[in-house]
Amino acid sequence: MNEDLASRHLNLIQDQRPAVHCLTNTVVQSLTANMLLAVGAIPSMSSDISEVADFTARSQALLVNIGTLDPLRKNAIQAAITSAQENNIPWILDPVLIDRAPVRLAYAQELIKREPAVIRGNAGEISALGSDPKSLARDNRSIVAVTGATDFVTDGNRESTLHVGHELMSRVTGIGCAGTAVLSAFCAVTDTAGHFDAVVAGLHTLGKTGENAARKASGPGAFAATILDEIYFTSQSSSTERPLT
Ligand SMILES: Nc1ncnc2c1ncn2[C@@H]1O[C@H](COP(=O)(O)OP(=O)(O)OP(=O)(O)O)[C@@H](O)[C@H]1O
Ligand SMILES: Cc1ncsc1CCO
Ligand SMILES: [Mg+2]
C-alpha cells in the first residue's frame, strides 16, 4: 500500500517537476540539491535576503533546515517563511541538532509557531521539543515525522510506522537533511490534506532506496553516490509503470 502511495507521488513529481527552495545547512547543500534532482524536482539554494522571497514565491515548497545558522541566514529564513505563507506554499522544517543547544531549541520553537506543514527530525530532536509527536502535530497543525531505525508519522490523529531503511543511512552526513528535502518535493505535489500521505510516501521511497543502495555499496562513500542512483532509478521506473489514461 505504501508502495502504491509512493508510486503515485513519484508520478506526480515526474509530471510537475516541482521547484523546491532550500534554506539548508552548509554541510549538505550539494547532497540535498542532487537528491531533489534525482527524484525529479528542481532545487534552488540561494539565501540572499534580496531574492529569497522571490525564489520562494516561485517554488512549490520551501525547506527550512537550521543545521548551520548565522544572522543573515536567520533573516533569510524569516523572509522565506513569510513569502511561503503569503503565496500558500508549504514550508517544511528540519530542526537539526536542537537537542544540543538551548538557544537553537528556542529558535526552533519560535519557527514552529509559524506552523510548518511538516516537522521532520530524529528521535532526539523531536523529543527535545517537549511534547509527544501527536500533541506536537495537533498543536501546530503540522505533520510530524520522527526518523531513525523505524520512522513514525502523525498528523495528530492518524499515525503510520515504517520499517524501511538501512543502518548505512546514518553513516553518511545529511541523508536525513536531504531526505527532508525529498519530503518537501512530495508535499509540493499535494494539497494540505494530502501532506500526511505525502510524508509517508516520501519516507517509504527514501527507505526503500536506502535498502537498494545498501545491497550495492560496500561502505558509506559508495552508499552516498548509490542512493542518488537508486532514487533516480525508482523515479524512472515508477513513471514508466504509469497507467495510460
Ligand atoms: N538504523 C537505521 N535503519 C534503517 N533506516 C535508518 C537508520 N538510521 C536512519 N535511517 C533512515 O535514514 C533517514 C535519515 O534519518 P536519521 O534519523 O538518521 O536523520 P538525521 O539524524 O536527521 O540525519 P542527518 O542529520 O545526518 O541528516 C531516515 O529516512 C531513516 O529512516
Ligand atoms: C554535521 C552537521 N552539523 C550541522 S548540520 C550537519 C549535517 C547533518 O545534520
Ligand atoms: Mg537531521
Confidence of residue 240 (pLDDT cuts 50, 70, 90): low
Does the pLDDT of residue 244 top 50, yes or no?
no
The ligand minimizing its distance to the Cα of 27 is 2
Q: What is the mean pLDDT of residues 35-57?
A: 98
Residue 245 is predicted with a pLDDT of 44
Domain count, the chain: 1
In a domain? residue 242: no
In a domain? residue 245: no
Confidence of residue 242 (pLDDT cuts 50, 70, 90): low
* Threshold 0.90, pTM exceeds: yes
Q: Which of 73, 97, 107 to probe ligand 2 with, by most ligand atoms within 8 A of CB? A: 97
Q: What is the CATH number of the domain that holds 94?
A: 3.40.1190.20
> What mean pLDDT is reported for the chain?
96
Ligand 3 ion local residues (Cβ < 5 A): 96, 176
97 Ramachandran zone, left/alpha/beta (phi>0; psi -120 to 50) = left
Does the pLDDT of residue 238 top 90, yes or no?
no
- Class of residue 1 by CB neighbours under 10 A (exposed 0-12, middle 13-18, buried 19+): exposed
Q: What is the mean pLDDT of residues 90-101?
A: 98
> Is 245 annotated among the ligand-binding residues?
no
In a domain? residue 75: yes
Does the pLDDT of residue 237 top 90, yes or no?
no
In a domain? residue 173: yes
C-alpha span between 195 and 203 (Å, rounded): 12
Helix axis angle, 102-112 to 71-86, nearest 10°:
20
Are 83 and 57 contacting, i.e. CB atoms less than 8 angstroms apart? yes
Residue 70 is predicted with a pLDDT of 97
Residue showing cell 520522527: 146
**Which structural domain, as residue segments, surrounds residue 107?**
2-236
**ipTM score here?**
0.98
In a domain? residue 241: no
DSSP state of 47: -
